[in-house]
Amino acid sequence: MKLRILYFATLRDLAGVREETVSLPDGLQVKDLKNLLGEKHPELIRAFNSAIFAVNREFAFDDQPLKEGDEVAIFPPVSGGSVNGPTILRIVQEPLDMNALLKEIITPTAGAACVLTEGVQARSERGEPLENPHQSPEPQHPMVEEQMEQVAQEIRDCWESVESVAIVQHLGEVQPGAPTVMVVCTAAHRDAGVFEAARYGLDRMKQTIPLVRKEIDPE
């Protein structure tokens, strides 16, 4: 299988190319790609200990399977990424305010911020059309707080270049179109993995915070 490899920032300098195409046997994983690239570009071996890999613009662990035509982007931790911004973890009853949260989390060193939310659909179809008048997480505050802390730490462990992390969870009734959770990550540059980090945080919150859905047949 052939893969398109994209190098960013200092990794581009170490590899000596901006991008390249490599061939691997079918059925291999990201860790196998690391070994192949390390043999081809020995200067990259040490950098891979902290590099961020994304397959088709989604964060990838070592055991991520690869397939024909995949695009693999490799990002280093951003220089100066050790400067930690705030970590904001909050449970609220009022509607989530993205602008207020951004104003609170963005620091002078942050050149990029990614905001991802999970909202309530007004209508869904699973065999028959249904309307969703509202949706809310179970109000188990200690469990939600513990999970938010865990997700924030996972983000910081995986993305050293992320400066600030915010996770805000709404508890209580949410009307259609309104977000139930908001995840924000900031970094010095937009190529520092902020999108991948925020998406990872949102996916992890969705996996572990139960939602109570109330749906009505429009008929």
Q: Could you state, in chain order, the average pLDDT of each consecutive group of 10 residues for the chain (219 residues)?
A: 90 91 93 94 87 82 92 69 73 87 85 86 51 48 77 86 90 72 90 90 80 47
Residues 162 and 147: beta-carbon distance below 8 Å? no
Contacts of 84 (CB under 8 A, 6+ apart): 156, 163, 164
Q: What was the pLDDT predicted at 124?
A: 52
Contacts of 20 (CB under 8 A, 6+ apart): 4, 5
Nearest to 59 by CA among 158, 205, 187: 158
Q: Is 78 exposed, middle or buried (0-12, 13-18, 19+ CB in 10 A)?
A: buried
Residues 201 and 127: beta-carbon distance below 8 Å? no
Q: What was the pLDDT predicted at 120?
A: 58
User: What distance in Å separates the CA atoms of residue 60 and residue 38, rounded to the nearest whole number?
Assistant: 18
Q: Which fold has domain 2-75?
A: Ubiquitin-like (UB roll) (3.10.20)
Strand-pair partners of 2: 23
For domain 87-216, the CATH class is alpha beta
Q: What was the pLDDT predicted at 139?
A: 46
Give the 3-state secondary structure of the chain: CEEEEEECCHHHHHHCCCEEEEECCCCCEHHHHHHHHHHHCHHHCCHHHCCEEEECCEECCCCCECCCCCEEEEECCCCCCCCCCCEEEEEECCCCCHHHHHHHHCCCCCCEEEEEEEECCCEEEECEEEEEEEEEECCCHHHHHHHHHHHHHHHHHHCCCEEEEEEEEECCCECCCCEEEEEEEEECCCCCCHHHHHHHHHHHHHHHCCEEEEEECCC
Q: What was the pLDDT predicted at 43?
A: 92
Range(s) within the chain of domains with CATH label 3.90.1170.40: 87-216
User: What distance in Å separates the CA atoms of residue 71 and residue 60, rounded to the nearest whole number?
Assistant: 12
Q: What was the pLDDT predicted at 131?
A: 47
Residue with tokens 């995949």: 70
Q: What was the pLDDT predicted at 82?
A: 44
Q: What was the pLDDT predicted at 125?
A: 53
User: What distance in Å separates the CA atoms of residue 218 and residue 122, rounded to the nearest whole number?
Assistant: 11
Q: What was the pLDDT predicted at 142?
A: 63
Range(s) within the chain of domains with CATH label 3.10.20.30: 2-75
